[in-house]
Every structure is written in C-alpha cells, then in structure tokens.
C-alpha cells in the first residue's frame, strides 16, 4: 500500500506538472515533450487502478503514434508561438469557461463512480481493482462490455474513424500529371538481358541511342 501511495503521488505530480508545462513552456517542441510525459504518467495511474490494458493502449496509441505525429509536425513547422500568445487576455474568459465546465463534469463523474461504482453501472467487472473475479483479465472484461452492451456504439465509432481516414486520404490525394513514379515491378523484373546491351563501336563512331 505504501509503495502504491508513493507511486500514485509521484505519477500524479508528474502528470500535473507536465500538464501545466505543456501550456506554459515557450518552445512548442518542449510542449509536446511535456504532453508525452503527461500521457505516460497518466498511463502509470491507470496501472495503479488495475486497468493495465487501458494503460498500455494509452501508451501505444497516444504516446507511440499520435504524439509522434504531433512532434513530427511541430518540429517541421516554424510556429511563432509569441505571435499566437498575443491574444491571451482576449481568449482567457472563454478558455476559463470551458476549463471550468470540464472540471465540473469530471467532479460529477468521479463522485458518481465513487458512490455507485463503475462496475455496478454495467454489472460487469471493468477492472480487477473493483472487486471483480480475479481470473477475468481487464482486457477480457472490456471486450465483454464492448462487444455486448455497447456493440453498436463501438461499431459506429469504428465507422466514424474509417470515414475520417478516407476523408483525410481524399483531401490530400492529388494525381499530378507528369510526375515520374517508381514502378517497383519493372525494377524487380529487370534482368541483365533487359537492362544491358552489348555493343562494339568502331573507333571514331559513337553509339546511336
């Protein structure tokens, strides 16, 4: 228990500090790196809750893929953050409102979970920590919930992602005329016979092309 408490306070502190640093650091690349630290320590918190499957997914999806793309873009673009920061006072009330709304929602959700329990809402164990049968891993528990109670929502979410993916491809796909492309098949099928020609030019004469 003591170890868990130490781990919890450590990771919670890292999460909060990194989250603040994301907003406050001057260099956008540092912001993304702090964001990654925040994701990572949030995953650590998931592990402490006994939801190791979610923790690993958080790391794989957000840290391993999404944040890499963030970093990729932020490193390539020359974003002038000083210019972006100029409207700080003007956007402050709106931002504060949204943040306050989110905070209220979070408190409501967590109090509901604390009083009624997430597991009781579904009658299905979500995490081993929440008094579930020890032989059901939480990957299995999540699978059972997703593919029974929420199968339509799950499929709909998949559909939305698919449409978004196709949309992104359609938006960026351009067939420029006159672009020379690599045709791998031609390259693979090239043999000495097709790629080479033996000639014996006479002195003073060139080779006709």
**Minimum gap (Å) between residue 21 Cβ and other proteins:** 12
User: CA 147, CA 153: separation in Å to the nearest integer?
Assistant: 9
Does 36 sit near other proteins (CB under 8 A)? yes
Residue 80 or 205: the one with the smaller Cβ distance to other proteins is 80
First-to-last alpha carbon distance for the chain, in angstroms, is 82
Residue 149: name the closest of 189, 114, 176, 122 by CA.
122
Judged by beta carbon, residue 89 or residue 189, the one nearer other proteins is 189
8-state DSSP, 202 = P
Q: How many whole angstroms separate alpha carbon 118 and alpha carbon 189?
A: 60
What is the gyration radius of the CA atoms in the chain, in angstroms?
A: 28
User: How many whole angstroms separate alpha carbon 153 and alpha carbon 156?
Assistant: 5
**Listed ranges 66-74, 87-95, 167-175, 200-208: which one lies at the site for other proteins (CB under 8 A):** 66-74
In terms of CB distance, is 61 or 97 closer to other proteins? 61
Binds other proteins by CB under 8 A, chosen from 10, 13, 20, 65: 65
Find the part of the chain contacting other proteins (CB under 8 A) among 1-9, 90-98, 146-154, 168-176.
1-9
If you search the block for the tokens 């579930």, which residue do you land on?
Answer: 132
Residues near other proteins, by CB under 8 A: 1-3, 27, 29-30, 33, 36, 40, 43, 52-53, 56-57, 59-60, 63-65, 68-69, 71-72, 75-76, 137, 139, 182, 184
């Amino acid at each position: 228990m003591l170890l868990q408490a130490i781990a919890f306070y450590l990771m919670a502190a890292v999460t909060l500090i990194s989250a603040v640093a994301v907003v406050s650091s001057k260099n956008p690349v540092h912001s993304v790196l702090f964001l990654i630290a925040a994701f990572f320590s949030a995953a650590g918190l998931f592990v402490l809750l006994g939801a190791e499957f979610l923790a690993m997914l958080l790391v794989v999806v957000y840290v391993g893929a999404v944040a890499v793309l963030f970093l990729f873009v932020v490193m390539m673009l020359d974003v002038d953050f000083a210019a972006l920061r100029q409207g700080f006072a003007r956007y402050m009330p709106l931002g504060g409102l949204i943040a306050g709304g989110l905070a209220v929602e979070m408190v409501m959700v967590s109090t509901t979970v604390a009083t009624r329990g997430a597991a009781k809402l579904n009658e299905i164990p979500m995490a081993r920590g929440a008094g579930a049968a020890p032989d059901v891993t939480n990957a299995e528990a999540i699978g059972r919930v997703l593919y029974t109670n929420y199968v339509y929502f799950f499929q709909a979410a998949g559909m939305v992602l698919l449409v978004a993916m196709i949309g992104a491809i359609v938006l960026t796909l351009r067939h420029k005329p006159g672009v020379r492309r690599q045709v791998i098949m031609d390259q693979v099928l090239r043999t000495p016979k097709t790629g080479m020609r033996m000639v014996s030019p006479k002195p003073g004469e060139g080779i006709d092309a």
